[in-house]
């Protein structure tokens, strides 16, 4: 039994490398926005549209690609997605103007949309029910590791070369992932074809819809600051790109720790406690950034709490989605990824709107905190609805059968 387990684990790690590349691409642009803006002759809020273009395209294309390419062999779709992703990042790095760079960001997002949902489905298929949680944690561990290593490394590279070097670095990581997948991953049977309408059907359940809205609103608030992280923490870093890279490294390490511990905490205390505790701490951190961003020591503390709490919320949210209706759990979790990216794509828009309406850069954390609070309130409404439905189901069940017990897990 040991050898097959090790083989499966290696395959999960192989896919996690791809997630690492895509995650690096998602987060690294925020750290190099001033350099991008200067080189492409636009202001920083305009250059932030590169983040919006990538995240929004990914969110829209993920369910569409999953439906259209349902019959494409999984291995081919994974490798093809990474190749498109690589081309999009090379194109961004060589772009002669802002509009060209924007187009290549959409191409990179298409590659990510081809890879990520497919990788999640492959992991679920290979792992089986008994190892599904572990397999998914390995896969999405690649995404959180991107915040700890990929993003700060990419930011540091821009300090030695320029932002174009950073994009080539991201493409190189994608190439490593493509080679690893082509070598290590066997052929995987394609799942039954699911239409786009079926993939979106979980949204008709108000409990799932409210949980997805929590993701969208909450992560929009969480990433408003990340979009302008180089400027908000400029007083603490003195505008030094290498110091910022260390700050992002601390943020990312804390994100990995938050992601790793969230599962155990959710199993012990329930998803509601973990979501709300992490969210409230993040709100407090954001509300105090006008002061914590002035000094390097307090900036590191704020960044680490922010990273840990932001990533600790993802696991319990997915836990809640899986428990609401296990029959559509995979589609619900896929939609949560899209909701996350919609929130991330809105963050630069929201930030730009606030800055245009006389909110000073250093006070941007205050309205961001208010947005996170709104997300938590939406999540609480979803939790109360889940509890009510669960009580109704228990009342109708014969002596607390297994389905009712399963629904009770989602209500915790």
193: left (phi > 0), else alpha (psi -120 to 50), else beta?
beta
Grouping H, G, I as helix, E, B as strand and the rest as coil, residue 193 is coil
Residues with Cβ < 8 Å from 95, sequence gap 6 or more?
40, 101, 104
Asked whether the beta carbons of 227 and 351 are under 8 A apart, the reply is yes
Q: Do residue 255 and residue 177 come from a single domain?
A: no
Query: Average pLDDT of 113-127?
Result: 80
Q: Do residue 162 and residue 216 come from a single domain?
A: no
Q: Name the more confident of 126 and 34.
A: 34
Residues of the domain holding 92: 1-194
Longest dimension (CA), the chain: 68
Q: Do residue 133 and residue 235 come from a single domain?
A: no
- Among 194, 213, 235, where does a domain finish? 194
Q: Name the more confident of 110 and 316.
A: 110
- Among 141, 173, 194, where does a domain finish? 194
Count of domains observed in the chain: 2
User: Across 16-30, 173-187, 201-215, 387-401, which has the greatest mean pLDDT?
Assistant: 201-215
Q: Do residue 360 and residue 235 come from a single domain?
A: yes
Q: What is the pLDDT of residues 51-75, one digit of tens each?
A: 888 888 988 888 888 778 878 888 8
Read off the CATH number of the domain in which 294 is found: 1.20.1250.20
Q: Do residue 214 and residue 246 come from a single domain?
A: yes
* Other Cβ atoms within 10 Å of 6 Cβ, number: 10
d(CA 26, CA 75): 23
Residue 40 reports pLDDT greater than 80: yes
Asked whether the beta carbons of 409 and 386 are under 8 A apart, the reply is no
d(CA 78, CA 182): 9
Q: Do residue 124 and residue 269 come from a single domain?
A: no
Least confident of 124-138, 184-198, 355-369, 384-398: 124-138
Query: Considering the chain, what percentage of its residues have pLDDT values greater than 90?
Result: 35
């Amino acid at each position: 039994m040991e050898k097959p387990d090790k083989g499966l684990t290696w395959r999960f790690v192989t896919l996690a490398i791809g997630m690492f590349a895509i995650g690096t691409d998602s987060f690294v642009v925020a750290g190099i926005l001033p350099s991008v803006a200067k080189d492409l002759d636009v202001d920083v809020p305009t250059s932030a549209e590169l983040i919006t273009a990538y995240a929004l395209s990914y969110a829209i294309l993920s369910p569409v690609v999953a439906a259209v390419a349902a019959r494409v062999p999984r291995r081919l779709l994974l490798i093809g997605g990474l190749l498109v992703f690589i081309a999009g990042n090379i194109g961004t790095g060589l772009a002669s103007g802002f509009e060209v760079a924007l187009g290549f960001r959409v191409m990179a997002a298409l590659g990510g949309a081809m890879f990520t949902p497919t990788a999640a489905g492959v992991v679920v298929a290979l792992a089986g029910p008994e190892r599904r949680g572990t397999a998914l944690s390995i896969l999405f561990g690649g995404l959180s590791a991107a915040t700890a290593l990929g993003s700060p490394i990419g930011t540091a590279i821009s300090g030695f070369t320029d932002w174009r070097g950073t994009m080539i670095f991201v493409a190189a990581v994608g190439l490593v992932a493509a080679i690893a997948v082509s070598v290590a991953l066997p052929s995987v049977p394609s799942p039954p074809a699911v239409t786009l309408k079926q993939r979106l059907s979980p949204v008709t359940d108000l409990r799932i819809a409210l949980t997805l809205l929590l993701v969208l609103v909450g992560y929009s608030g969480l990433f408003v600051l990340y979009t302008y992280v180089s400027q908000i923490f400029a007083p603490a870093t003195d505008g030094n790109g290498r110091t910022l890279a260390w700050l992002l490294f601390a943020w990312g390490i804390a994100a990995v720790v938050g992601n790793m511990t969230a599962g155990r905490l959710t199993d012990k205390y329930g998803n509601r406690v973990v979501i709300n505790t992490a969210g409230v701490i993040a709100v407090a951190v954001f509300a105090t950034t006008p002061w914590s961003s002035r000094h390097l020591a307090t900036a590191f503390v704020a960044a680490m709490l922010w990273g840990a709490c932001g990533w600790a919320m993802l696991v319990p949210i997915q836990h809640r989605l899986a428990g609401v209706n296990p029959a559509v759990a995979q589609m619900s979790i896929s939609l949560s990824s899209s909701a996350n990216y919609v929130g991330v794509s809105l963050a630069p828009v929201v930030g730009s709107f606030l800055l245009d309406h006389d909110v000073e850069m250093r006070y941007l954390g205050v309205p961001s905190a208010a947005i996170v609070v709104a997300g938590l309130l939406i999540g609480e409404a979803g939790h109360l609805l889940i509890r009510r439905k669960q009580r109704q189901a228990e009342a109708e069940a014969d002596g607390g059968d297994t389905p009712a017990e399963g629904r009770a897990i989602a209500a915790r």
